[in-house]
A = this chain, B = another copy of it.
Amino acid sequence: MAIEFTDPGTLSDDEREKGDVFAPEFGANGLIMAVVSEAATNQVLMVAHMNRQALGLTLETGIVHYYSRSRAALWKKGEISGETQKLIEMRTDCDQDVLLLRVEQAGRGAACHTGHKSCFFRKVKVAGDGEISLTNDAGAPLFDPAKVYKR
């Protein structure tokens, strides 16, 4: 089956923001943004995009699929790296233009292509003199990207 999604244009603002009809807003580029968190801890792991096909496949299979903007192609997360994601819960925000995916991260537990658990492995630090820098407070990556992604 191919899942069909309700056109948000057919809903009133109230229905869209408070109702029970799922009407995801795909942007002009046909994509909707997905924020991804680890179901067990709520830690934010990454942000990615989905087209209708990726969202449909994710809901049908329970395995997370995205749309890769750099490759302009459907992207089954972890297909190359083994770092697949099992969908535990999907949520939508008030105006239905962002999805929240709560997942179990498989493989080595690294959602990020740098080999880190989370893409957000660096903290923004503001020094006393106003100087801003980044600090990696997440330690070493869980895999070596050079070995995993052979291009």
A residues with CB within 8 A of B: 1, 3, 5, 17-22, 33, 35, 37, 41-44, 46-47, 59, 89-94, 98-100, 112-114, 116, 119-124, 126, 130, 132-136
A128 to chain B, nearest CB (A): 12
Given contacts A35-B47, A37-B42, A42-B42, contact A123 B89 (CB under 8 A): yes
Whether the pair A113, B134 counts as a contact (CB closer than 8 A) is: no
Q: What 8 A-B pairs come out closest when comparing CB atoms? A: A42-B42, A93-B119, A90-B124, A91-B120, A100-B120, A94-B119, A20-B134, A47-B98
The copy count of this chain in the complex is 2
Whether the pair B59, A132 counts as a contact (CB closer than 8 A) is: yes
Whether the pair A113, B132 counts as a contact (CB closer than 8 A) is: no
- Chain B residues near A46: list those with CB within 8 A: 93
Alpha-carbon distance A101/B21, docked complex (angstroms): 29
Whether the pair B134, A92 counts as a contact (CB closer than 8 A) is: yes
Residue of B at shortest CB range from A38? B42
Residue of B at shortest CB range from A41? B42
Alpha-carbon distance A12/B133, docked complex (angstroms): 16
Whether the pair A124, B93 counts as a contact (CB closer than 8 A) is: no
